Structure 1
Amino acid sequence: MGEQAVPRYSQIVAELRRRIETGELTPGDRVPSTREIMKQWGVAMATATKVITELRREGMVRAVPGVGTVVASPSRPVRAPRPAAAARPGTPPDAPSGQMSLTLGRIIVAAVTVADTEGLAAVSMRRVAAELGVATMSLYRHVADKEDLLTRMMDTVIAESPLPTDPPEGWHEAIELAARQLWDLFRRHPWLAPALSVTRPQMVTSALPYSEWMLATLHAHGLDLQSAFTAHLMVLNYARGIAVNLESEREAEAHSGLDSEEWMDTQEPALLAILASGRFPALSRLARAGYDLDLDALFEFGLQRLLDGLASLLEESSAG
């Protein structure tokens, strides 16, 4: 009996794996998209999607919102769970076991790493325990439940970006600085925006300085405390509202194997068919000109319009 032919997708996976392992593609480098794989190897979309899915399963690549699929860092591979008593590589023979050396700090760092790398949906007590090489039940000696863990994760990452000790003198500069710092936090941790609740706010201690900063700044420039806090929530939820797209895009790309640009390409024929009716002339002109969605640019555009609105509100308050 002759040798069984290697599936086409396996051949492509092997080639891309070789490029990564030899350093031809280094951590952070973008790997060929599904569309590029289709063109380069002459395969169908389903095959190209299967290639990216397999590389993700192996932990060789990861999805980065707004960028695409990139080579994963060797320090964050997808690992199989280790036995609870197994020693970590490089641990001295007489070192305590994973469970005995378990700390709240290690648990939070592991959970944040999982969320940053694989998304909020991947975070579970079992998954974090597997990262640490301990029994799942051992985590409950340090955190009450998953909700408690999530609150501590948010507290930790927000605390990493404290506001300046001395705020700018002008309200415009102060509010702009805080808003951009929030956006940067959401950018670095895509799971943070959907995790934060506006209607049922969690007790995230490190977030209180942001509220105090916004409230004190606007109140000092003429707004009553009620209006100042409402303005604070408006700015916070504006940044959060755009940022939730980061995590949802990452999830959509992981499930479909297509980045946002590639997905839009699949929708283009249907859109053009609708626009051909002539019912939407403005949209037709825009489609011909092209539009590149940039979340950073969208955030900046909206932030400036919000600041313009706050300026008018502060002027009215001063006049009153």
Structure 2
Amino acid sequence: MSSSPIPPEARAAWAAQDRQREARPELSLERIVEASVRIADADGLAAVSMARVAKELGFATMALYRHVGSKDALLVHMQDTAYGEPPATSPSSLGWRDGMVLFMRGLLEAHLKHPWVLEIPLSTPPLMPQSLKWMDWALAVMTDLPLEPFEKLSTMLLLSGYARNEAATAAMIGDMASPQNENVDVDFEAGLRTLTGPDRLPAVHALVMSGRLFEMPAEATSDDGDEFILDFGLGRILDGLEALIVKRKPNFPTV
């Protein structure tokens, strides 16, 4: 017997989307996921359990299983819901580069708003409703680019991965700066000066001894180091894509 190419979580999520115009039942997948997201936002992903969600909604725990098959399935729905809607701006109104920036920053904002998403493994292909909406929006931005279909998909995955990585870094920095962290007062630059030397890690030593380790480049538009790092990395990704576009089609607009 052949299995369906659509995971049960995706089938349930799309069915829920189709029911949105109907009167919402007393208990539904949508209400269960919304409550789960509220709990995770308030108390972290570890606080989400079928029992806690059922209590939040005023139902017996077993009632939830008529709408979502397991805790793992619930996490898949939560993850997709957390992405929210793609940008409201029409892709056709944007140049490809501005569109890709908006795509990446929109996903980054979603991850920063719901950092617990990073704790959920990416265990299924992007077949859930919100994931496919984001994919469709990004592909619409790239409609006219002289790229092969798989190259467009790879570009989208590269930028979504960049957003996820930047969100993970921001979460890690936030944890390091928390009052509970014993290393909050560690001076990174002073530590490098102490641990490195001309004969031990000479390249790192030369960098720190230049006295310019955290000096903002002249082209920086603000003194926000985190924002510069984000823009610098994103810019280099798009520069590489632009070089490929120009190679394929020299007269193609690059802005």
TM-score calculated relative to the size of structure 2: 0.69
Closer, same or farther: CA 248–143 of 1 in aligned 2, 3 Å = farther
What is the aligned partner in structure 1 of residue 21 from structure 2? none
Choose the corresponding residue for 1:257, options 161, 180, 188.
180
Any conservation in 1 of the 2:108–2:163 contact (CA below 8 Å)? yes
Among residues 311, 316, 320, which one is paired with 2:242 in the alignment?
311
Q: In structure 2, how many angstroms separate the alpha carbons of the residues matched to 1:112 and 1:298?
A: 30
Q: 2:129 aligns with which of 188, 205, 213?
A: 205
Q: CA RMSD in A?
A: 3.4
* Change over 3 Å in CA distance of 1:205–1:140 after alignment to 2: same
Deviation of 1:235 (Å):
0.9
Amino acid across the alignment from 2:106: Q
Note if contact 1:119-1:247 (Cα within 8 Å) is conserved in structure 2: no
The equivalent position to 2:78 in structure 1, one of 148, 153, 164, is 153
Give the equivalent residue in structure 1 for 2:9: none
**Structure 1 pair 300/289, CA: closer, same or farther in 2 (3 Å)?**
closer
Deviation at 1:314, TM superposition (A): 0.7
- Out of 122, 136, 159, the residue aligned to residue 61 of structure 2 is 136
Q: Distance in 1 between matches of 2:183 and 2:215?
A: 15
DSSP-derived class of the 1:141 partner: coil
Say how many residue pairs are matched.
216
Secondary structure in 2 aligned to 1:159?
A: coil
CA distance in 2, matches of 1:319, 1:299: 28
When residues 287 and 175 of structure 1 are mapped into structure 2, their CA distance, relative to the original with a 3 A threshold, is closer
The within-5 A match list for 1:283-294 is 283-286=208-211
AA aligned opposite 2:136? E
Q: Distance in 2 between matches of 1:228 and 1:297?
A: 26
Matched, 1:183 2:108: yes
Which segments of 5 or more consecutive residues in structure 1 lack a partner in the other structure? Answer: 1-99
| Pair 1:244 & 2:168 matched | yes
Of 232, 246, 254 in structure 2, the residue corresponding to residue 301 of structure 1 is 232
What is the alpha-carbon distance in structure 2 between the residues aligned to residue 295 and residue 194 of structure 1? 22
**Deviation larger for 229-238 or 187-196:** 187-196
How far apart, in 2, do the equivalents of 1:209 and 1:135 lie? 33
Say which SS state the counterpart of residue 183 (structure 2) adopts: helix
Residue 105, structure 1, aligned to residue 36, structure 2: no
The letter of the residue matching 1:154 is Q
Moved more, 115-124 or 270-279: 270-279
Quick one: structure 1 residues 165 and 217, their matched pair in 2 at CA, closer, same or farther if it must change by over 3 Å?
closer
Contiguous gaps of at least 5 residues in structure 2: 1-24, 217-222
Summarize the Cα distance change of 1:149–1:310 in structure 2 as closer, same or farther, 3 Å threshold. same
The aligned counterpart of 2:195 is 274
Tell me what 1:118 maps to.
43
Cα–Cα, structure 1 residues 293 and 174, in superposed 2: closer, same or farther, change >3 Å? closer
Q: Does 1:192 align with 2:112?
A: no
Match of 2:151 among 199, 215, 227: 227
How far apart are residue 207 of structure 1 and its match?
A: 1.6
Q: How far has the Cα of 1:111 moved from its partner? A: 1.0
Alpha-carbon contact 2:83-2:130 (below 8 Å) kept:
yes
Letter in 2 for 1:313: L
CA-to-aligned-CA distance 1:126-153 (integer Å, 9 cap, x gap): 3323433443322212211122212222
Residue 61 of structure 2 aligns to which amino acid in structure 1?
A: T
Distance in 2 (alpha carbons) for counterparts of 1:147 and 1:247: 23
Q: CA deviation at 1:294?
A: 5.2
Taking structure 1 as the reference length, what is the TM-score of the superposition?
A: 0.56
Distance 1:290 1:174, change over 3 A: closer
How far residue 272 of structure 1 moved from its aligned partner, in angstroms, is: 4.5
Q: Which amino acid aligns with 1:238?
A: Y
The answer on whether the counterparts of 1:110 and 1:132 sit within 8 Å (CA) in structure 2 is yes
* AA at the equivalent of 2:183: W
Identity %: 32
Q: Which has the larger radius of gyration?
A: 1
